[in-house]
Amino acid sequence: MSHRSAVTVTPPDDDDVLKALGIKPELSRKMGTFGNYAISFSVICILAGGMSLFGFGLGHGGPVVMLGTWVVIGGLTLLVGMSLADVVSAYPTSGGPYFMAEKLGGKRWGWYTGWLNLLGLLGAIAGIDYGAAAFIGAFAQLQWDITPTPAGTMLIFGAILLLHGLLNSAGVRLVTVLNSISVWWQLAGVAVIVGTLTLAPTEHRSVGFVFTHFHNDTGFSHPFYVALIGGLLAGYTFCGYDASAHVAEETKDAQVCAPKGMVRSIWVSWLAGFVLIAGLLFAMQDYTATQNTATGVPPAQIFLDVLGASGAKALLLIVIVAMLFCGNAEVAAASRMIYAFSRSRALPGWKSWRRVNARTKTPTRAVWFAVVVPFALALPVLYSPAAYGAITAINAVGMIPTYGIPVLLALRKGRDYRPGPWTLGRWRRPVGIIAVIYVVVITVVFCLPQSKPITPESFNYAGVTLMVALLLATITWITRGKRDYQLAAAGTALPGEAATFSAGGF
């Protein structure tokens, strides 16, 4: 990465950059470099993804695959993030990937990218907050011997979403403070968890076990295939770093701070996540008992075996709070995307979702859209546990392709692509090519069968989810997108329309 200017120049004003892109500045620009980094780090949330899918990793390749794919996928994700950051610097808007795709490839590219990114963000909120509700249920079982039920978990899930809606409605200043706390909470949490698991056990697993042991409960016999699908642990966790782009219109010096925040969130998560997973593996006492724990949360069983009930509950609380921070940050990112996509007239009811509260300078209605829709997405879990897998699939296969599309289109532009002040320079093309290839491969891997025999409970819904998302985008493009969709300055009248900017209120 480099700054192209060889002499000191005055950076362009943030609002002037937006106006040059055809956008009227409306949001409150109070976020700094650390705040921008903090929202992506909070959304990646290694204490959420790493913990939620730890049990999946134990059965899909075991320690060697868990740590090996974490290293490989983390490194490749960093290349994707750097390539996307280059494009973010040129187009620092709340729309994120869809805005970049439209500017670089045209309306249809923007439309499809936007719908995939939107569904991915909404699926992420549902997956993160429902996962937090499940962890709270596990804590309640340890603390009060309350057996979690689907209805009870759904009730907790709804309460978490309501909390996140209220916090995000208060304005970006509070969101920034919470995200900043989240960074230190997560890093301190990893240190406390790993430190405790290092000092407390009388026995630890050997180095050979942690770095070489292979365990396969998938029903598939080929180790390479098992390693591929075992990469879901890392692949799912390394999602959401586009949050730095979605809050770019609220970030000072966004052309530099947003790409910096994105890249930094990835490499810090990469290092801290490796330490966390290795620490859990070294401390694990009984492999089979951990997999089949009555709590439903394998890391909780490790905590129980090492520390007893009181210590386990304390560490579990650390993880739960981190998950709540993560979900809150994801709501912030998704609401900005909804706001931006609506000012392009892409969503039904777009006039409402693009409105900005005059007092807080926050797209409040978009915030509640980002709360209500994920709750509806998760309702099928009441009737089928397999539905949660479909929700996480929406997140993974929706978001990751949208990271590669702007990079691909920028490469296709060749010399006509004009980077911003944060750029990879001569490394843009080789890094970008590797990034695009990785995005294609990991998207296919996410859609592969993960266990056999294949049943409704074990079926991988990612491929179906991707097809449904693309079908939805196609139908909406044909029925209204070709006619209505266009990038336009928010708060200004579009052709054939009276101005609808909210003067205030909800």
Per-residue pLDDT reduced to its tens digit, 158-196:
999 999 999 999 988 898 899 999 999 999 999 999 999
CA distances from 154 to 74, 137, 141 (A): 32, 10, 16
Lowest mean pLDDT among 380-389, 415-424, 432-441, 479-488: 380-389
For 401-449, how does the pLDDT look when each residue is reduced to its tens digit (9 = 90+)? 999 999 999 999 998 999 999 999 999 999 999 999 999 999 999 889 8
* pTM exceeds 0.85, yes or no: yes
Given a cut of 50, is residue 496 above it in pLDDT?
no
Lowest mean pLDDT among 5-14, 219-228, 274-283, 404-413: 5-14
- Which residues contact residue 225 at a Cβ distance below 8 angstroms, ignoring those fewer than 6 apart? 448
Question: What is the arithmetic mean of pLDDT over 313-322?
Answer: 92
Closest Cα partner for 93 from 264, 325, 259, 238?
259
Joined tokens for residue 207 = 């180095």
d(CA 23, CA 351): 16
Most confident of 164-173, 259-268, 469-478: 259-268
Joined tokens for residue 245 = 């782009």
pLDDT at 157: 96
- Mean residue pLDDT across the chain: 88
In this predicted model, which residue has the larger pLDDT, 186 or 500? 186
CA distances from 213 to 64, 228, 287, 503 (A): 5, 16, 11, 61
For 444-472, how does the pLDDT look when each residue is reduced to its tens digit (9 = 90+)? 998 898 888 888 777 888 888 888 889 98
Lowest mean pLDDT among 4-18, 174-188, 325-339: 4-18
